[in-house]
Amino acid sequence: GTDSDTDGTTDSTTDPTDATDPTDSSTTDPIDPTEDTCGDTGGMGGDIDFSYLWVANTNQGSISKINTVTLIEEARYYSDPNPPAASPSRTSVSISGHYAAVSNRGTGTVSMFAATLDGCVDKNNDGVITTSPDKDTLVPFEEEECRIWTTTVNPPIAAYVGGPRGTTFAPGLFNEGTCEYDAQKLWVGWHTSNGIAYMARIDINSGTFDVTVPVEGWTASHAPYGAALDGQGNVWFTGVFEDHLYRVNGKTFELSKWTSGLGHSPYGMTVDFNGIPWFGGYFGPVAYFDPVTETFGTIPDTDAYHRGIAVDLNYQVWVATNAGGGPGCGLQQVDGETKTLIKNHVFPQCGTPVGVSIDLEGMVWMVDYDGWAWRMDPETEAKDQVLIGGVHYTYSDMTGGALKNVFVPE
């Protein structure tokens, strides 16, 4: 396609009936990371302290925790009390890296896990944290003490297609006294059988919903497919194969909608540090939306079967591509500043790449449906393969890198 900006049409709906008071002090505010009041953290106490890749094992009903430095899968957890029916997919990581969440499409649940032992809870008070010690040993769901909570979305999902998909943490409020983020939240989207989708917010301390925004007239076949935050705490999301873009204001919970008119078919989506949403088109080009001019554009020469998408701090946009499209199986690199294609990267083994994420060190991760992940150095293009047992229909912000890059850019 060509880099043609097309005026989008905007619909706006205010005052969602299920939303909480917009003046709630726990609402996400923009973070100013320039205040150096936290010692060595440079005022960025919410910066990711640990670098893990959280991969959903869709066929097992579990989630894997992989150290992005050592490349070791350190633990594996069941994501739902009914693992065979769970079908976990989207994962999200908190801004500090201390927590990860996974949404289960088949059972309509969301589970949150602690990344390190000091965040786990000794639920049976035996003085020991009972948890998975490695990739081969899963603790029974109810006994896993690094699982903090599991909650069921409500209203109920419209079977599997309505199950929760788009999932993203919100950082909350930065506490300069503790150099931590307080009142952190988690947004998740699903849809019901009555043509209504929901984008709702969970208080991560309690695991309960505190805001629910209905999206009436939902026409996409599946639940909100991808979700990501901008630096103002607004939630952007899309419906798969639908020429629409939605935003929930992080303070007022007002819902806005744009239609591109480009006929693009978004699959994966993310938001960069300039507040620009990006989309991997499954039947077409990489696309983006300028929220200032409210116009859409596409990147020339990028037509492909795209899946997951991520943006690094050098403003390089990385998109998974599947076989059958122009570039074939691999990873597409786009320059976010010049809006041009840089390169189509190929890998020694490539099945069905789905998820793309950027880790703490700026490495690009591509998770393959067929049982592995690749870590690529964007400078040298050196690639490391990590075998991960199972089937991985997983993508979104699997490392927390997208959230970190938006709120605490270096």
The answer as to CATH 1.10.10.10 being correct for domain 6-407 is no
Share the mean pLDDT of the chain.
89
**Average pLDDT of 122-143?**
98
Whether residue 122 is predicted with pLDDT greater than 80 in this model: the reply is yes
- Range of weakest confidence among 29-38, 64-73, 348-357: 29-38
Q: Are 226 and 235 in contact (CB under 8 A)?
A: no
Q: What values do phi and psi take at 308, rounded to 5? A: -70, 160
How confident is the model at residue 148, as a pLDDT?
99
pLDDT, mean of residues 342-370: 97
From the centroid of its chain, how far is CA 157?
20
Would you give the DSSP letter of residue 395? -
Query: 109, 77 in Cβ contact below 8 A?
Result: no
Task: Evaluate if residue 13 carries a pLDDT over 60.
Answer: no
Q: Which two tokens stand for residue 232?
A: 């103002």
Q: What is the sign, positive or negative, of the torsion defined by CA atoms of 76, 79, 84, 87?
A: negative
Question: Buried b vs exposed e over 301-331: b needs ≥16 C-beta within 10 Å?
Answer: bbbbbbbbbbbbeeebbbbbbbeebebebbb
Task: Indicate if the pLDDT at residue 362 is higher than 90.
Answer: yes
Reported as a single tens digit per residue, the pLDDT across 15-50 is 333 443 333 433 334 444 444 456 433 333 344 457
| Residue 376, number of CB atoms within 10 A of its CB | 19
Each domain of the chain, given as residue ranges in start order, spans 6-407
Which residue matches tokens 């917009």? 22
Q: Model confidence over 304-322: pLDDT tens digits?
A: 999 999 999 999 999 999 9
Are 218 and 203 in contact, with CB atoms under 8 Å apart?
no
Amino acid at 405: N
Q: CA–CA separation, 49 vs 27, rounded Å?
A: 24
pLDDT in tens, 183-225: 999 999 999 988 899 999 999 999 999 999 999 999 999 999 9
Q: Are 122 and 129 in contact (CB under 8 A)?
A: yes
d(CA 138, CA 121): 17
pLDDT band at 107 (very low <50, low <70, confident <90, very high): very high
157 pLDDT band (50/70/90 cuts)?
very high
The whole-number pLDDT of residue 49 equals: 55
Cα–Cα dist 277/229, whole Å: 9
Quick one: what percent of the chain has pLDDT higher than 70?
Answer: 88
Mean pLDDT of 63-81: 98
Say whether pLDDT at 271 is over 50.
Answer: yes
Q: What is the pLDDT of residue 410?
A: 55
pLDDT at 409: 61
What is the pLDDT confidence band of residue 263, given thresholds at 50, 70 and 90?
confident
Average pLDDT over residues 110-132: 98
49, 99 Cβ separation under 8 angstroms? no
Buried b (16+ CB within 10 A) or exposed e, 64-85: bbbbbeeeebebbbbbbbebee
Max alpha carbon distance in the chain (Å)? 63
Distances (CA, A) of 19 to 107, 170, 171, 232, 254: 24, 16, 19, 18, 9
Percent of the chain residues past pLDDT 90, beyond the cut: 79
